[in-house]
């Protein structure tokens, strides 16, 4: 995907919510905080950016270069509210897809999240489904990527961590086409390491770490308009190889100014996977 091709792509202008620079390490409580305690110390600000339609160049995308891909991959699962079907058939389909696309020697699906946007609802609010995340972020850091392997794979972790692995999110609409709260992804090659800010996610029983992202006008943003149920967006959130290939792909839900007023609220599912290689 060369720069001249990018400049010719259809585009929209939309706001993305970035982290404001701060002196201390940000933290966010992933539970209802005690009275008087803020849920997060992070401060965000909207920046208007250009988000390009990636469909005309989708065939040139690479997980190794840009860090994301849009592929057609129909699922046999008709009702993604069927937890058993998701954890068996859909997990198996995803493992097969990633093995084929990446040449991985082993793929582990370790969880999934279904998001159904409810206008005005806060994420993790009691009694509501998970909401789209309207902040620029990347799910894993240099520290938390390997820690996830240790947390999940026990005695096998040390051996697996001697070889290359990645964390890939597999994002799919489950009520299509997606017009409301679509997903924007950044070309990993346009993101500087200084743009990524490690942030503590504090749970009742553990502390994780993700990257929130500072604004940089060099970021190149893309989306796939009107994604269908038979399409998935693959997003590389971590790669242990530090050799110039894509390692981290910031992403965010956003408000598309061209969305029709009567568009149904977004519904999507994302699977998080560990992908291990022989190299």
pLDDT at residue 5 is higher than 90:
no
**What was the pLDDT predicted at 124?**
73
More confident residue, 96 or 33: 96
Give residue 118's pLDDT band: very low, low, confident or very high (50, 70, 90).
confident
**What's the rounded mean pLDDT across residues 95-112?**
97
Residue (of 75, 68, 82, 69) closest to 96 by Cα position = 75
pLDDT at residue 262 is higher than 80:
yes
**Are 253 and 17 within 8 A, CB to CB?**
no
pLDDT at residue 122 is higher than 80:
no
Question: pLDDT digit string (tens) for 186-223?
Answer: 999 999 999 999 999 999 999 999 999 999 999 999 99
Question: pLDDT digit string (tens) for 129-154?
Answer: 899 999 999 999 999 999 999 999 99
* Percentage with pLDDT > 70 across the chain: 99
First-to-last CA distance in the chain? Answer: 26
CA–CA separation, 31 vs 7, rounded Å? 43
């Amino acid at each position: 995907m060369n720069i001249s091709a990018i400049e010719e792509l259809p585009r929209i202008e939309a706001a993305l919510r970035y982290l404001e620079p701060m002196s201390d390490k940000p933290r966010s409580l992933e539970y209802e905080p005690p009275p008087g305690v803020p849920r997060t110390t992070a401060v965000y600000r909207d920046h208007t950016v250009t988000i390009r339609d990636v469909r005309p160049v989708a065939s040139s995308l690479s997980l190794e270069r840009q860090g994301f891909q849009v592929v057609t991959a129909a699922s046999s699962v008709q009702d993604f509210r069927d937890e058993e079907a998701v954890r068996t058939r859909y997990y198996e389909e995803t493992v097969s897809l990633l093995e084929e696309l990446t040449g991985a020697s082993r793929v582990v699906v370790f969880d999934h999240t279904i998001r159904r946007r409810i206008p005005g609802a806060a994420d993790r609010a009691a009694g509501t489904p998970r909401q789209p995340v309207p902040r620029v972020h990347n799910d894993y850091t240099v520290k938390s990527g390997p820690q996830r392997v240790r947390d999940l794979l026990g005695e096998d972790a040390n051996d697996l961590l001697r070889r290359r692995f990645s964390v890939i999110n597999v994002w799919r609409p489950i009520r299509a086409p997606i017009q409301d709260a679509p997903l924007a992804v950044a070309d990993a090659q346009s993101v500087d390491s200084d743009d990524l800010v490690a942030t503590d996610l504090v749970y009742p029983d553990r502390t994780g770490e993700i990257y929130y992202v500072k604004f940089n006008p060099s970021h190149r943003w893309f989306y796939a308009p009107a994604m269908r149920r038979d399409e998935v967006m693959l997003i590389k959130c971590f790669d242990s190889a530090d050799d110039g290939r894509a390692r981290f792909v910031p992403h965010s839900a956003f408000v598309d100014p061209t969305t029709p007023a009567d568009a149904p609220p977004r519904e999507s599912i994302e699977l998080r996977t560990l992908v291990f290689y022989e190299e």
